[in-house]
Structure 1
Amino acid sequence: MNIRSIAKESGLSVATVSRVLNNESGVSDEARQKALKVIERSGYKPRNYSQRRGTRIAIVVEAGAPSFDSFYSLVFTGISRYAWECGFEATLVYYSPDHERNSGGELVDLLRKKRCNGAVLIAPISESEGQNLIDARIPSVLVAHRLSLDGIGYIDCNNFQGASDLTEYLLHLGHRKIGYLCGNLENGNNSDRLNGYLKAMESVGVEVDDGWMIEHHPTDVTEQAGYDQALFLLERYPDITAIFANNDSMAYGAVTACMETGLRVPEDISVVGYDDYLSSRYYNPSLTTMRQPLMEMGASAARWVDEKLKNKISDLPHRVFRGELIVRKSCALPRADS
């Protein structure tokens, strides 16, 4: 039996059967199942089958993002480990939504140029971009972003609840003057974290001074952003007793800023981060933070795409976890003069 015989018996075109044999996107589930049944029944294996291109999943990152920041590296690790264990290729793809729109290109075109069957998206996409992926039959899962489309999967943590829990921990210690170092608030998760902080402060009757919330100052090194924002905060509000940094990297920079201004952490000021990077346990002082299972999230996203390509699942999941408060040594009771 050859590819033409399979096409005739299954009632499909030769091109469709070829896509199925090469595990390519652009084939309906029904058509794929028809072809696979005939292939399995006949025991057909094309020549050089082992050398044919298998699954290639894109790891899509927004161009200009700090792609090898600890956040990304943990997600990458989860994806690449799963890919290695399951014998498929994962390739990094940079995507600039504004550039693609201005040039008339689309994410789908970029993935096809890279010969990718599916995608794990560590970058926000629009609803129209998501619909294009669905129409092109490219299974795609968002990590740490969400899109309300049935054909696009996502895996995320509840950032609002996580930030609220972390702020409540500081309030429980007795802190009331808590500064907040913002991330880019155009990112919905960063906005959720700020709102979680505000909600927790409001719940105990603390009136937050607008000056306690320091807007994001992007830098090439995320630690530098935390350092700059913390210095700005401490210069204007020296009576602050705790700092909530939007992520662990910014918290590292904030700790350095505190020490350079003569404040001991945690004796004079407490500092918390978010995400629980691998280095946070070994930082001095070890960092109190909110853990997101980033490595596991990356692996799950890759697995869902892989299983969708293999028709092991019919729908890509939508899953949201609650973060885990990790208490370490960067926090203490407010200093006596506060």
Structure 2
Amino acid sequence: MVKKQVDASPVTQGKRTDLQQLATHLGLSKTTVSFVLNDAPQAQQLSAETRKRVLEAAKKLNYRPSYYARNLRKGSSESIGVIVPEMSEGYFTLVMGGVEEYLLEKHFLYFTTCHYWRPELMKDYPRMLQDRGVEGLLVLNTNVEFESHLPTVAVSGHKTGPLVTNVTLDHVASAQLAIQHLYELGHRRIAFMKGQQYSVDSKFRWKAILDVARDFGLKVPPELTIELQANSWSPELGYFPVKAFITRKQEFSAMFCFNDTAAIGAMRALGEAGLRIPEDVSVIGFDDIMSAAYQRPSLTTIRQPLRAMGTIAARTLLEKIIHPEERFPEEIVMGPELVVRESSGKAKARERTKA
């Protein structure tokens, strides 16, 4: 009678193997196997045959080291958590381009979570990321309203704290550039977009617009104000509010939009109403997203240095992680730039004569 040989090893080929299973399969101690797999100095005391056998078995049996055990040994996870409202073309992709490029250079990994402005996710994600071993938090377009013991950097955030650094834009300078540009082109009746209430920049940018408009002697009456409501990063954000605005039959010759995405939607709505850009209405956006230069007409906009903001945020966060004893600024303010393209032009003569 032929007896069938049974492998007493707990390892099943093709499935993930842990250190204990691998050591049992090889008939070696966990310590010995660990020395070989981590290329520790002690491994040199083992025979070449033993080292080779361990490495071949690890490959054959799909051994993967425990992420948490490895981090415990190293004392570092070399990873950060990134918290964003959502990931769409435009603002977020440009900021994350700078973040990712810097982290790749420094061999750091990042985990991205999208909260979609849901309060429970905004509260839970920081804790969940911390439980997974991240060493710091990078928060985009979201205020730091949560408790955390980790170094934190916010891009376009406005909440301060002992471990928080905010990378922000100079909104007064931004409003100055946009309004001065339109004013010098002769525009006096300007429609202004106000961002959604939950957008962290809305309040600060709107205050800057009101202050700068007053300095130029311009009025910002309710009838020339377009308030955005939708939780959207599609051009529909500006399209539907501007269609509704046009029905008010207000006289205006220029429009300063909350962001480029809304401006693209606004230009579509204006065109459908028979208004030419810039001959009848000049339009200015905000951000300078990648598609802004390729609209027809191309979009005049206030450029945020989004990629640079991402790079600076990532660099600051890693410095805070590496040097926890140092003091870091609560705010790093970046300067804007006016990018003049085809969507802005001189006001008609009758508009330039108005006060």
Q: TM-score range by the shorter chain?
A: 0.7 to 0.9
Deviation of 1:295 (Å)? 0.9
Change over 3 Å in CA distance of 1:320–1:213 after alignment to 2:
same
What corresponds to 2:53 in structure 1? none
How many Å separate the matches in 1 of 2:175 and 2:41?
A: 54
Alpha-carbon distance change, 167 to 319 in structure 1, aligned in 2, over 3 angstroms? same
Q: How does 1:207-218 map to 2 (within 5 A)?
A: 207-218=219-230
Structure 1 residue aligned with 2:172: 160
Q: Give the counterpart of 1:90 among 96, 110, 119.
A: 110
The structural deviation recorded for 1:197 is: 2.1
Counterpart CA distance in 1 for 2:342 and 2:141 is: 33
The number of residue pairs the alignment matches comes to 283
Q: What is aligned with 2:132? A: 114
Is the alpha carbon distance of 1:263 and 1:49 closer, same or farther for their aligned partners in structure 2, counting shifts above 3 Å?
A: same
Shift of 1:292: 0.9
Residues 126/298 of structure 1: CA separation in 2 closer, same or farther (3 Å cut) = closer
Match 2:83 to one of 60, 80, 88: 60
Identity of aligned residues (%): 28
| Aligned partners of 1:181 and 1:230 also within 8 Å | no
Report the CA distance between 1:237 and its aligned residue: 3.3
Distance 1:109 1:221, change over 3 A: closer
8 Å contact from structure 2 (residues 113, 125) kept in 1: no
Which secondary structure state, in structure 2, belongs to the residue aligned with residue 205 of structure 1? coil
Letter in 1 for 2:95: V
CA–CA distance in structure 2, aligned partners of residues 99 and 229 of structure 1: 29
SS class of match (1:191): helix
Match of 1:71 in 2: 91
Q: Please, which of 234, 255, 260 is the counterpart of residue 246 of structure 2?
A: 234
Deviation at 1:52, TM superposition (A): 3.6
CA contact 1:246–1:273 (8 Å) conserved in 2:
yes
Letter in 2 for 1:215: E
| In structure 1, C-alpha distance between the alignment counterparts of 2:176 and 2:198, rounded to whole Å | 20
Distance 1:161 1:300, change over 3 A: same
Shift of the 55–204 alpha-carbon distance from structure 1 to 2, 3 Å rule, reads: same
Give yes or no for contact 1:60–1:121 (8 Å, CA) kept in 2: yes
The within-5 A match list for 1:162-201 is 162-201=174-213
Counterpart residue number, 2:272? 260
Within the candidate set 296, 300, 307, 2:308 is matched to 296
Separation in 2 of the partners of 1:252 and 1:239?
21
Q: How has the CA–CA distance of structure 1 residues 92 and 257 changed in structure 2, closer, same or farther, with 3 Å as cutoff?
A: same
Alpha-carbon distance in structure 1 between the residues aligned to 2:217 and 2:237: 30
Deviation at 1:310? 2.2
Specify the code of the residue in structure 1 equivalent to 2:93.
S
Q: What do residues 277-336 of structure 1 show as CA deviations (whole Å, max 9, x unaligned)?
A: 122122221211111111111111111121222228723332112211111111111134
**Conserved in 2, the CA contact under 8 Å of 1:175 and 1:333?**
yes
TM-score, normalised relative to structure 1: 0.76
| Aligned-partner residue type, residue 97 of structure 2 | T
Contact 1:305 1:316 in 2 (8 A): no
Can you list the C-alpha shifts for 1:48-87, whole angstroms capped at 9, x where unaligned? 89994441111111xxx34214111111111111111211
What are the superposed Cα offsets for residues 110-136 of structure 1, whole Å, 9 maximum, x if unpaired? Answer: 222333111111143355x2xx32xx2
In 2 relative to 1, CA 45–154 (structure 1 residues): closer, same or farther, beyond 3 Å?
A: farther
Amino acid at match of 1:76: M
For 2:272, the aligned partner's letter is: E
User: 217-226 or 238-247, which moves further after superposition?
Assistant: 217-226
Instruction: Provide closer, same or farther for how the CA distance between residues 119 and 273 of structure 1 changes in structure 2, counting only shifts above 3 A.
Output: same
Give unpaired runs (5+ residues) of structure 1: 1-43
How large is the Cα RMSD of the aligned pairs?
2.7
Equivalence for 2:215: 203
**What is the Cα deviation at residue 172 of structure 1?**
1.4
Q: Aligned equivalents of 1:231 and 1:145: distance in 2?
A: 31
Q: Deviations over 1:260-293 (max 9, x none)?
A: 1111111111000111112212222121111111
1:22 corresponding residue in structure 2: none
> Aligned partners of 2:42 and 2:183: how far apart in 1?
65
User: Hey, what's the Cα distance between the residues in 2 that align with 1:153 and 1:108?
Assistant: 16
Contact 1:181 1:229 in 2 (8 A): no
SS across alignment from 2:263 = helix
Q: Aligned pair in 2 of structure 1 residues 45, 249: CA closer, same or farther (>3 Å)?
A: farther
* Structure 1, 117-126 or 293-302: larger mean CA deviation: 117-126
Change (3 A) 1:200 1:294: same
The residue type equivalent to 1:332 in the other structure is: G
**What letter is aligned with 2:293?**
R
Of 335, 338, 344, 1:322 maps to 335
* Aligned-pair CA distance for 1:337: 5.0
Q: In the superposition, relative to structure 1, how do residues 285 and 308 fare at CA in structure 2: closer, same or farther (>3 Å)? A: same
